[in-house]
Amino acid sequence: MSYSKIMVPVAPDHGPEAGRAMEVARSLLSPGGRITVLSVIEELPRYLTADIYSIGPVVVEKERAVADAVKEEFGGAPDVTVVTRIGHGARTILDLAEDGGHDCIVIASAQPGWQHTLMGSTASGVVRHAHCSVHVLRETGSGPTA
């Protein structure tokens, strides 16, 4: 099976799993297809951004730095578009995938731990609510696996 528009969400502080996700996306991409690499900077709670004049420039600079880093690593190929957004991880991924007509999301997921019981993980939210195929790369102790 191949896909024409694949999204690869990567964390702003992504590690080697982001490269593995790109490899998988390339293997699933149909000829002439496109890959969107998305990095979502988690939106700060309202109570932390009450003084928007002091925090606003910090958020803008963080978004610019993340965008530059992700573009440098993944944006060199002509079939790759790099997008950076500020928002809730899973919701932003899902919205962009649906709005952009993506037919597959390739996402890395860490082994679930106690913290995911309380908060849920981005990958599990994407899997539960995506309107397209989702390919999850599971990290194990010996490295990420598909």
- Contact between 93 and 126 (Cβ < 8 Å): yes
Packing angle between helix 89-99 and helix 122-129, nearest 10 degrees? 40
Q: What is the pLDDT of residues 94-106, one digit of tens each?
A: 999 999 999 999 9
Q: Which residues contact 51 (CB under 8 A, 6 or more apart)?
A: none
The DSSP annotation for 24-67 comes to HHHHHEEEEEEEEEEEEEEPPPGGGSSSHHHHHHHHHHHHHHHH
Answer whether CATH 3.40.50.620 is correct for domain 3-145: yes
d(CA 107, CA 137): 6
pLDDT of residue 67: 78
d(CA 35, CA 28): 10
Higher pLDDT, 12 or 36: 36
Phi, psi of 45 (to 5 degrees): -60, 150
90, with CB counted inside 10 A (0-12, 13-18, 19+), is buried
Q: What is the pLDDT of residues 51-79, one digit of tens each?
A: 555 556 666 777 778 778 888 888 778 89
pTM of the model: 0.79
pLDDT of residue 18: 85
pLDDT of residue 79: 92
pLDDT of residue 5: 98
d(CA 126, CA 110): 14
pLDDT of residue 131: 96
143 pLDDT exceeds 50?
Answer: no
Q: What percentage of the chain has pLDDT greater than the value 90?
A: 41
